[in-house]
Amino acid sequence: MNIELYKNLENSFGVTSLEVKNRNQSYIRVKKEMAVPLITHLKLVESYKHLSFFTIIDQIEKGEFELLYMLHSYSRNHDLGIIVSIERHETDMESIHHLWPAAETYQRELREMFGVEFPDSPGLYENFCLEGWEGIPPMRREFDTKRYSEDTFYKRPGRETNDPAKYMKEKIYPSEAETW
Protein backbone atom coordinates (compact mmCIF):
# COMPACT_ATOMS: atom_id res chain seq x y z
CA MET A 1 0.00 0.00 0.00
CA ASN A 2 1.06 3.46 -0.88
CA ILE A 3 2.49 4.95 2.30
CA GLU A 4 1.32 8.42 1.36
CA LEU A 5 -2.24 7.24 1.12
CA TYR A 6 -1.92 5.63 4.53
CA LYS A 7 -0.58 8.86 6.05
CA ASN A 8 -3.49 10.73 4.52
CA LEU A 9 -6.02 8.32 5.91
CA GLU A 10 -4.30 8.38 9.26
CA ASN A 11 -4.68 12.14 9.45
CA SER A 12 -8.23 12.41 8.24
CA PHE A 13 -9.86 9.19 9.51
CA GLY A 14 -7.68 8.03 12.37
CA VAL A 15 -6.70 4.83 10.62
CA THR A 16 -4.26 2.66 12.58
CA SER A 17 -2.11 -0.45 12.44
CA LEU A 18 -1.23 -0.84 8.80
CA GLU A 19 -0.40 -4.42 8.01
CA VAL A 20 1.19 -5.08 4.65
CA LYS A 21 0.79 -8.69 3.60
CA ASN A 22 2.37 -8.31 0.19
CA ARG A 23 2.58 -5.92 -2.71
CA ASN A 24 -1.09 -6.32 -3.51
CA GLN A 25 -2.70 -6.72 -0.15
CA SER A 26 -2.82 -4.75 3.09
CA TYR A 27 -5.06 -4.29 6.09
CA ILE A 28 -5.91 -1.26 8.17
CA ARG A 29 -8.00 -0.74 11.28
CA VAL A 30 -10.42 2.05 11.98
CA LYS A 31 -12.87 3.07 14.70
CA LYS A 32 -16.53 2.14 14.30
CA GLU A 33 -17.73 5.74 13.81
CA MET A 34 -15.22 6.49 11.08
CA ALA A 35 -15.69 3.26 9.14
CA VAL A 36 -18.41 4.28 6.73
CA PRO A 37 -16.94 7.75 6.00
CA LEU A 38 -13.61 6.06 5.33
CA ILE A 39 -15.12 3.49 3.00
CA THR A 40 -17.06 6.20 1.18
CA HIS A 41 -13.87 8.18 0.76
CA LEU A 42 -11.96 5.16 -0.50
CA LYS A 43 -14.66 4.37 -3.00
CA LEU A 44 -15.32 7.86 -4.33
CA VAL A 45 -11.88 9.41 -4.17
CA GLU A 46 -9.24 6.71 -3.93
CA SER A 47 -10.50 4.36 -6.65
CA TYR A 48 -11.32 1.40 -4.34
CA LYS A 49 -14.47 0.78 -6.33
CA HIS A 50 -15.01 -2.90 -5.81
CA LEU A 51 -16.32 -4.58 -2.69
CA SER A 52 -14.76 -8.03 -2.82
CA PHE A 53 -16.43 -9.32 0.29
CA PHE A 54 -17.68 -8.32 3.67
CA THR A 55 -17.49 -10.70 6.58
CA ILE A 56 -17.19 -10.98 10.33
CA ILE A 57 -14.66 -12.69 12.55
CA ASP A 58 -15.89 -13.57 16.00
CA GLN A 59 -13.15 -12.68 18.48
CA ILE A 60 -14.90 -14.07 21.50
CA GLU A 61 -11.76 -13.87 23.65
CA LYS A 62 -11.62 -10.11 23.20
CA GLY A 63 -15.38 -9.78 23.45
CA GLU A 64 -15.71 -8.23 20.05
CA PHE A 65 -16.65 -8.85 16.46
CA GLU A 66 -14.20 -7.84 13.76
CA LEU A 67 -15.94 -6.65 10.63
CA LEU A 68 -13.77 -7.03 7.57
CA TYR A 69 -14.56 -5.00 4.48
CA MET A 70 -12.38 -6.08 1.59
CA LEU A 71 -12.06 -3.46 -1.13
CA HIS A 72 -10.28 -3.73 -4.42
CA SER A 73 -8.87 -1.05 -6.64
CA TYR A 74 -8.47 -1.88 -10.31
CA SER A 75 -6.21 1.04 -11.12
CA ARG A 76 -3.87 0.36 -8.21
CA ASN A 77 -4.21 -3.41 -8.51
CA HIS A 78 -4.52 -3.54 -4.77
CA ASP A 79 -6.72 -5.19 -2.12
CA LEU A 80 -7.39 -3.22 1.00
CA GLY A 81 -8.97 -4.81 4.04
CA ILE A 82 -10.63 -2.51 6.54
CA ILE A 83 -11.06 -4.05 9.96
CA VAL A 84 -13.60 -2.54 12.35
CA SER A 85 -14.05 -3.89 15.86
CA ILE A 86 -17.45 -3.69 17.48
CA GLU A 87 -18.58 -4.86 20.88
CA ARG A 88 -20.23 -8.23 21.02
CA HIS A 89 -22.97 -6.71 23.13
CA GLU A 90 -23.73 -3.74 20.94
CA THR A 91 -24.21 -5.31 17.62
CA ASP A 92 -25.29 -2.33 15.55
CA MET A 93 -23.37 -1.20 12.54
CA GLU A 94 -24.00 1.39 9.89
CA SER A 95 -25.10 -0.08 6.60
CA ILE A 96 -23.14 0.36 3.37
CA HIS A 97 -25.88 -0.67 0.97
CA HIS A 98 -26.01 2.87 -0.44
CA LEU A 99 -22.46 2.40 -1.73
CA TRP A 100 -22.82 -1.11 -3.12
CA PRO A 101 -26.33 -2.54 -3.49
CA ALA A 102 -24.78 -6.01 -3.23
CA ALA A 103 -23.86 -5.28 0.37
CA GLU A 104 -27.51 -5.91 1.25
CA THR A 105 -26.97 -9.60 0.76
CA TYR A 106 -23.84 -9.67 2.91
CA GLN A 107 -25.64 -7.80 5.62
CA ARG A 108 -28.60 -10.11 5.50
CA GLU A 109 -26.26 -13.05 5.91
CA LEU A 110 -24.36 -11.46 8.77
CA ARG A 111 -27.59 -10.57 10.54
CA GLU A 112 -28.66 -14.16 10.34
CA MET A 113 -25.36 -15.85 11.13
CA PHE A 114 -23.94 -13.47 13.75
CA GLY A 115 -26.90 -11.36 14.83
CA VAL A 116 -25.24 -8.10 13.86
CA GLU A 117 -27.83 -5.53 12.88
CA PHE A 118 -27.54 -3.07 10.03
CA PRO A 119 -30.43 -0.64 10.46
CA ASP A 120 -32.11 0.47 7.21
CA SER A 121 -30.52 -2.22 5.11
CA PRO A 122 -33.29 -3.52 2.82
CA GLY A 123 -34.58 -7.02 3.41
CA LEU A 124 -32.46 -7.42 6.51
CA TYR A 125 -34.90 -9.77 8.21
CA GLU A 126 -35.56 -12.02 5.27
CA ASN A 127 -34.30 -15.58 5.42
CA PHE A 128 -30.87 -16.05 3.99
CA CYS A 129 -29.77 -19.65 4.57
CA LEU A 130 -31.78 -20.74 7.54
CA GLU A 131 -35.51 -20.95 7.71
CA GLY A 132 -37.30 -20.37 10.94
CA TRP A 133 -34.16 -20.39 13.06
CA GLU A 134 -34.79 -19.96 16.75
CA GLY A 135 -32.13 -19.31 19.30
CA ILE A 136 -28.71 -17.75 19.01
CA PRO A 137 -27.20 -17.20 15.57
CA PRO A 138 -25.21 -20.29 14.62
CA MET A 139 -21.94 -18.68 13.59
CA ARG A 140 -21.38 -17.09 16.96
CA ARG A 141 -18.69 -19.02 18.70
CA GLU A 142 -20.58 -19.56 21.92
CA PHE A 143 -23.05 -21.62 19.91
CA ASP A 144 -22.16 -25.27 20.38
CA THR A 145 -23.02 -26.88 17.08
CA LYS A 146 -22.18 -30.44 18.15
CA ARG A 147 -24.43 -30.28 21.16
CA TYR A 148 -27.18 -28.68 19.17
CA SER A 149 -26.93 -31.45 16.61
CA GLU A 150 -27.03 -34.12 19.31
CA ASP A 151 -30.08 -32.56 20.89
CA THR A 152 -31.97 -31.97 17.69
CA PHE A 153 -31.25 -34.85 15.37
CA TYR A 154 -31.38 -38.56 15.99
CA LYS A 155 -27.99 -40.18 16.29
CA ARG A 156 -27.36 -43.56 14.86
CA PRO A 157 -25.33 -45.59 17.34
CA GLY A 158 -22.16 -47.34 16.27
CA ARG A 159 -20.30 -44.47 14.75
CA GLU A 160 -16.53 -45.01 14.74
CA THR A 161 -13.78 -42.59 13.93
CA ASN A 162 -10.39 -43.53 12.55
CA ASP A 163 -7.37 -41.43 11.86
CA PRO A 164 -7.42 -41.53 8.06
CA ALA A 165 -3.66 -41.65 7.54
CA LYS A 166 -3.16 -44.47 10.02
CA TYR A 167 -6.14 -46.40 8.76
CA MET A 168 -5.04 -46.20 5.15
CA LYS A 169 -1.60 -47.45 6.04
CA GLU A 170 -2.93 -50.43 7.96
CA LYS A 171 -5.79 -51.48 5.77
CA ILE A 172 -5.19 -50.37 2.25
CA TYR A 173 -1.41 -50.40 1.87
CA PRO A 174 -0.22 -52.85 4.53
CA SER A 175 2.96 -53.77 2.67
CA GLU A 176 4.00 -50.17 2.33
CA ALA A 177 3.09 -49.27 5.87
CA GLU A 178 6.61 -49.82 7.20
CA THR A 179 8.24 -47.60 4.65
CA TRP A 180 6.04 -44.58 5.34
Partner 1 sequence: MEKDMERRLYADTGAPEGSPVVNPDPRTLGDSSNIQLFNEQLKLLNSGLTEEDRLNFCDTPPEVIKPFRGHWENFLNWARSESLWILGFGTGCGAIELRPLMTSRFDMYQYGIQPRPTPRQSSIFVIGGYASVKTMKRIVRSYEQMQGPKFVLGLGSCTINGGMYYDSYNTVNRLDHYIPVDVYIAGCMPRPEALLAGLMELKTIIKEGRGEGANKYAENFEWYKANQKRIIKDWNMPDYNW
Q: What is the DSSP string of 95-122?
A: --TTT-TTHHHHHHHHHHHH--B-TT-T
Among 24, 29, 115, 169, binds partner 1 (CB under 8 A): 115
Binder among 19, 126, 144, 176 for partner 1 (CB under 8 A): 144
Task: Tell me how far, at minimum, the Cβ of 21 lies from partner 1, in Å.
Answer: 29
**In angstroms, what is the minimal distance from the CB of 33 to partner 1?**
20
Nearest-10 crossing angle of helices 3-13, 32-44 = 130
Within positions 39 to 98, which residues make up the interface with partner 1, using CB under 8 A?
60-61, 63, 88-91
**HEC-encoded secondary structure of 138-168:** CCCCCCCHHHHHHHHCCCCCCCCCCCHHHHH
Residue 57 or 60 having the CB closest to partner 1: 60
53 DSSP β-pair partners? 70
Q: Which of residues 4 and 151 has its CB atom nearest to partner 1 in the complex?
A: 151
Least distance (Å) between residue 49 CB and partner 1:
33
Q: For the chain, first and last CA: distance in Å?
A: 45
Binding residues vs partner 1 (CB under 8 A) = 60-61, 63, 88-91, 115, 117, 125, 129-138, 140, 142-156, 158-159
